[in-house]
Structure 1
Amino acid sequence: MLVLSRKKNESIVINNDIRIVVVEIRGDKVRLGVEAPREVPVHRREVYDAIQRSLEAGDTPVES
């Protein structure tokens, strides 16, 4: 795992087309903005896990 330090309004770039920006820092919470191509799915971890469980159960995932 790569661990980086960033301040508000600073960003990281992944694979030339995904940008993660620190939008706000408030107490122990950090708000991040994600800019990615439309064809790249971006989910919070708990949503991703729920989608994976649905797929394993044979359900059809719902697009958000």
Structure 2
Amino acid sequence: MLILTRKKDESIIIDDNIEIMVVGISEGKVKLGIKAPKDIEVHRKEIYEEIQKSNQEAANTKKIDFNALRKLFK
């Protein structure tokens, strides 16, 4: 893990196209601004973990019996 110290209005650059800037610091919280290309998804970690969990659950669902489904719509 790389650990950096930044002050308000200072930033870091990742891979030439992602900029993370400290836009505010107050009451023990840091507010970050993130500039990234539209094709790169940016999520808070807890949201990312929920998305991964949901995707895993969807992948583990039972297979659909298409023959039975066809019979229902005849």
Same fold, TM-score > 0.5, yes or no: yes
Give 4+ residue runs of structure 1 displaced > 6 Å after superposition.
none
Identity, % of aligned pairs?
49
Q: Which runs of 5+ in 1 are unaligned?
A: 60-64
Normalized per residue, the structure richer in helix is: 2
For 1:45 and 1:30, locate their aligned partners in 2 and report how far apart those are by CA, in whole Å: 15
Could you state the TM-score of these two structures normalised by the residue count of structure 2? Answer: 0.77
1:27: how far off?
2.3
* 2:50 is aligned with 1:53: no
Q: Which runs of 5+ in 2 are unaligned?
A: 60-74
Normalized per residue, the structure richer in strand is: 1
Map of 2:19 onto structure 1: 19
* Matched residues, number: 59
The CA RMSD measured in Å over matched residues stands at 0.9
